Amino acid sequence: MESVALAAPGSELSIWALFWQAGWVVKLVMIGLLAASIWTWAIIVDKLIAYARMRVALNKFEQVFWSGQSLEELYRSLSERKTSGMGSIFVAAMREWKKSFEKGARSPLGLQTRIDKAMDLAMAREMERLEGKLGFLASIGSSAPFIGLFGTVVGIMTSFQAIAGSKSTNLAVVAPGIAEALLATAMGLLAAIPAVIAYNKLSSDAGKLAARMEGFADEFSAILSRQIDEKVAPRN
């Protein structure tokens, strides 16, 4: 266990001073928690922007899709550029639709199954993008308080060892060492609280976006099912 001398009475108790006075184990814990907190906020900002863009994209696609434009024209315009959300699901379904008819589709059930599978895969890719990095927020939210507590325990043990060595229990002498240790717990909570709140909020937002895309996929599957009945069934 590291051995440090107790701070002299009247030592500065600012956060910066407490950090520099702390032992190397506590310093590593604080640095790690600070890095985790910064990365947590970076993910939060990135996801908030990404979800806002996704909502705008879904609204625009729905307006175009239900405007009466033909599916072929919409497919041609979307297939020429990178798509996301409902656009990706639509393009995946239409691509499978066209490939199947180019190869002479004969089974309505088989065609419907392939189209649904293509939309499911596109939906899974979109959800992977939406939920990416949320696992990090969950991990930080659950582990940061314990990491901070570990730093606190190490700091307090070091302080007690120094107290035993100096044989002084004067509060002015003991306080700086205890404060250094408790700072690690505070930093753990500082990293964990935003991570937990953001994880719950972003998970809920991702679920709402997923529900909208799933609803569109079901509606579009029904539209294609009617067209399959018209185009494929008469051939049987």
Per-domain boundaries in the chain = 18-235
- Rounded CA gap, 75 and 214, in Å? 19
pTM: 0.77
- Rounded CA gap, 231 and 47, in Å? 43
Residue 208 is predicted with a pLDDT of 93
Residue 189 is predicted with a pLDDT of 92
Residue 142 is predicted with a pLDDT of 92
Residue by residue, DSSP assigns 85-135 as: THHHHHHHHHHHHHHHHHTT---HHHHHHHHHHHHHHHHHHHHHHHHTTHH
- Rounded CA gap, 155 and 6, in Å? 12
Q: Percent of the chain at pLDDT above 70?
A: 77
Intervals of the chain under pLDDT 50: 1-11, 236
